[in-house]
Structure 1
Amino acid sequence: MKDWWIYKGDRSTDRLARLATHQPPWRSFDGEIDEGYAVPSLDDDRYRADRERGAGYIADENETELVNSALYLRRPLLVTGVPGVGKSTLAYSIAEDLGLGPVLRWPVTSRTTLRDGLYRYDAIRRLEDANLRRLEEPEAGAEGGPERPVTDAIGKYLQLGPLGTAFIPTKRPRVLLIDEIDKGDLDLPGDLLTVLDEGRFDIPELARLAEHSPTVTVGTDDEDGRARITRGRVACRAFPIVVLTSNGEREFPPAFLRRCIRLTIADPSREKLLSIIEQRIGREAAEAADGEDGVISAFLKRRATGSLATDQLLNAIQLRLAGAWTAPADLDRLTGATMHTLSGPDAT
């Protein structure tokens, strides 16, 4: 482990504190910390699966150095690789290693817009509730009738999305996973530029009411989370650790690429596969899968003709542990059942 590394440290606050003392002047953010916002802990049993997923990731030196580069520079990390190589799991590894709470995940589709990630405003429900109150209560302003609040409790109709929640001003950064950004609309990367550059965004529905109610409490992407928004602006204090994943299915604009630290995750070597198996399943399973006639050799041979995901190898080993296709003569049947190539001339 190198002295300047933060990621792959020992989960101590001293290592994360290095971010505060090594901050680029052009990436400084001054959002007023929301002292009342409680970030969920990964130690909570609700996030056990996330914690175990992150702990099982094996990062090599190149991956670790580029993750740390993104941390120091407060820049998004654009992670490219074939499906199943561990791009998304890297985000969970960062959150687990640094103790930064559950990952805020934003899955992207062809219909995704920037606002989907920032916040959601349920105007229809607000209108329905207002109409219902008019039927149940005396008319506002009538003699003896109650005065209706200007904000009409708008906060309960607003919820920050994963991206918006990542910008809540907290002392420690959150990990935001923007998954499969290459599946999004052509304009999405460009739309993200301003938000990721400035570390803030405005909610017009709240900004219009700032004179009457400068601070409004809204929901967040965290379970039961409630954040205080002042004058309709969400501005971060600690820039979030943004991991964008791509399967390499399209090119991104140069303006977007120059703002990212770029990492390509290669197919894991035999040695790394052994480490992954040992970490996920155990040493005995790794030793049993090794060798010229082992499952790992069969996996590597098949991967040479087309793309395979590492979890396909783990599936094959798990089946053998359950007693399926354990005889040497059954290896081809096991391979055929669990290792269908995902791309290439032999894809099935």
Structure 2
Amino acid sequence: MSGWYLFDGKDQRKEVLTKEKTKELREKIKKIDAPPWRQFGKEQDLTEEADNKRFESLIKLAKNKEREIKKGKNFRLSDSPPATEVRDAVNAAIYLRRPLLITGNPGSGKTSLAYAIAYELNLGPVLSWSITARSTLQEGLYRYDAIARLQDANKNNSDEQPIGQYIKLGALGTAFLPSYLPRVLLIDEIDKSDINLPNDLLNLFEEGQFEIPELVRRSKKKISQETDNLETDNLETDNLETENLFEVQTQDEGIDVVIKGGRVRCYAFPIIVMTSNGERDFPQAFKRRCLRVRMPDPTKDELEAIIKAHFGEKLFNDKAQEINDLMEKFIPKEGEGMDKATDQLLNAIHIFTQKDSPRKPEEKEAIRKLLMKPLTESE
């Protein structure tokens, strides 16, 4: 594997990275030169000490997310095509500051890819946005609780609470906060979205910034009040803007950030993984701005690696006969398409390798058919 690769997809991180290796990896990611047309915020907008402190908090937060860690550790990509294309796409997306659009059959590992990237590169918790037909761009960016603010204002007529207390950034908005290191953002099942959402995302993906109108209006009001009080014609607008700082909540538990002037602009473009089951096509303008790749269905060798990652080498060897029998029934015959998900095979292996697993042949066959029912089979 050449030095160009940042993400490998084979649990290269192993255990917790040492401080030296973590620093080396972070510096390598920081020093990547973005294409001239994909450069966003300015470095002077960042405070290295504050940024490092926030990322240390994120790393601590990630250590408590055991399910996410397992998803990342157990993900595997082989060294043969078409799996190598997925690896190349992830690394190219990091260098080019482009979102990834991952298609593939259900259960092929599209969602797990995001957790594997965050785990292997030690970039903190994955920011996850699960899409429905009702999802909107603003929902992903932030939520403003105007009702709570009004209620508090009625209770406390004399003391107005800071407006930032009623604003919480969504997964999308949190991902675009300025930082030296990129966050991993999972936009899951984007093909389920309203027809307009992909187009709504285009400007954000191209400009790397967004604004919160409620804060922008308040910011302008503050500047106006300050300028009215100045008796000189030489307005020091930079000093005025430092007063327009708003502390808001983020998607990360217990981690608040300060937003200046109501505008958010990324420095390191986030690593965006958008998954799709292929239930619809997307506009060409949207596809042009993404790196598109299909997650392949796992081969026999890849399935073995996945099973060993989940259950361990010992169980795999001790129950080799049972596992091979299940794999034989799981893998489609030549010329047939994959009609089952990998987690169906893992469920079956878990059942049939237990001490009290079904023993009678007819029981085993009935349970196997239940657990590995083809996804294409109608109810």
Scaled by the length of structure 2, the TM-score of the pair is 0.82
The 1:84–1:21 alpha-carbon spacing in structure 2 relative to 1, beyond 3 Å, is closer
Match of residue 298 from structure 1: 329
Residues 92-171 of structure 1 aligned to structure 2 (within 5 Å): 92-134=115-157, 137=158, 152-171=161-180
- d(CA) in 2 for partners of 1:91 and 1:240? 12
Aligned to 2:349, the other structure's residue is in SS state: helix
- d(CA) in 1 for partners of 2:122 and 2:192? 30
- Match for 2:307: what amino acid? I
1:315 has 2:326 as partner: no
- Match for 2:330: what amino acid? F
The 1:130–1:233 alpha-carbon spacing in structure 2 relative to 1, beyond 3 Å, is same
Aligned to 2:98, the other structure's residue is in SS state: coil
1:276 has 2:306 as partner: yes
Residues 1-348 of structure 1 aligned to structure 2 (within 5 Å): 1-8=1-8, 10=13, 12=21, 13-19=23-29, 20-31=31-42, 32-33=45-46, 35-36=49-50, 38-39=54-55, 40-41=58-59, 44-60=62-78, 61-134=84-157, 137=158, 152-211=161-220, 212=222, 213-287=243-317, 288-289=319-320, 294-301=325-332, 304=336, 307-322=339-354, 323-326=356-359, 331-343=364-376, 346-348=377-379
How far has the Cα of 1:42 moved from its partner? 5.6
How far has the Cα of 1:321 moved from its partner? 1.8
The 1:106–1:43 alpha-carbon spacing in structure 2 relative to 1, beyond 3 Å, is closer
How far has the Cα of 1:316 moved from its partner? 0.5
Larger mean CA deviation between 95-104 and 45-54 belongs to: 45-54
- Match for 1:284: what amino acid? K
- Match for 1:59: what amino acid? L
Give the aligned length.
332
Match of residue 142 from structure 1: none
How far has the Cα of 1:95 moved from its partner? 0.2
- d(CA) in 2 for partners of 1:123 and 1:255? 35
Aligned to 1:193, the other structure's residue is in SS state: helix
Q: Kindly provide the CA deviation profile for residues 294-320 of structure 1, in whole angstroms up to 9, marking residues without a partner as x.
A: 111011148947621101100011001
Please identify which structure carries the higher helix content: 2
The 1:122–1:130 alpha-carbon spacing in structure 2 relative to 1, beyond 3 Å, is same
How far has the Cα of 1:217 moved from its partner? 0.3
The 1:187–1:47 alpha-carbon spacing in structure 2 relative to 1, beyond 3 Å, is same
Q: Kindly provide the CA deviation profile for residues 167-192 of structure 1, in whole angstroms up to 9, marking residues without a partner as x.
A: 11112110000000000000000000
Aligned to 1:208, the other structure's residue is in SS state: helix
Q: Kindly provide the CA deviation profile for residues 118-175 of structure 1, in whole angstroms up to 9, marking residues without a partner as x.
A: 00000111111111223xx5xxxxxxxxxx56xx410110000001000111121100
Aligned to 1:178, the other structure's residue is in SS state: strand
Answer whether contact 1:42 1:51 (CA < 8 A) is retained.
Answer: no
Q: Which runs of 5+ in 1 are unaligned?
A: 138-147
Answer whether contact 1:76 1:260 (CA < 8 A) is retained.
Answer: yes
Q: Kindly provide the CA deviation profile for residues 46-83 of structure 1, in whole angstroms up to 9, marking residues without a partner as x.
A: 21221111010002322211110111100001000111
Aligned to 2:269, the other structure's residue is in SS state: coil
Answer whether contact 1:58 1:272 (CA < 8 A) is retained.
Answer: yes
- d(CA) in 2 for partners of 1:295 and 1:238? 45
The 1:279–1:299 alpha-carbon spacing in structure 2 relative to 1, beyond 3 Å, is same
Structure 1 segments (4+ residues) deviating >6 Å: none
Answer whether contact 2:322 2:352 (CA < 8 A) is retained.
Answer: no
The 1:306–1:87 alpha-carbon spacing in structure 2 relative to 1, beyond 3 Å, is closer
Answer whether contact 2:34 2:95 (CA < 8 A) is retained.
Answer: yes
Answer whether contact 1:160 1:218 (CA < 8 A) is retained.
Answer: yes
Match of residue 81 from structure 2: none
Identity of aligned residues (%): 42
How far has the Cα of 1:284 moved from its partner? 3.5
How far has the Cα of 1:97 moved from its partner? 0.2
- Match for 2:50: what amino acid? G
- d(CA) in 2 for partners of 1:102 and 1:341? 33
The 1:320–1:71 alpha-carbon spacing in structure 2 relative to 1, beyond 3 Å, is same
Larger mean CA deviation between 44-53 and 82-91 belongs to: 44-53
Q: Which runs of 5+ in 2 are unaligned?
A: 79-83, 223-242
Answer whether contact 1:210 1:231 (CA < 8 A) is retained.
Answer: yes
Answer whether contact 2:86 2:295 (CA < 8 A) is retained.
Answer: yes
Answer whether contact 1:91 1:177 (CA < 8 A) is retained.
Answer: yes
- d(CA) in 2 for partners of 1:131 and 1:216? 22
Answer whether contact 2:32 2:95 (CA < 8 A) is retained.
Answer: no
How far has the Cα of 1:22 moved from its partner? 3.0
Superposition RMSD on alpha carbons, in Å? 2.3
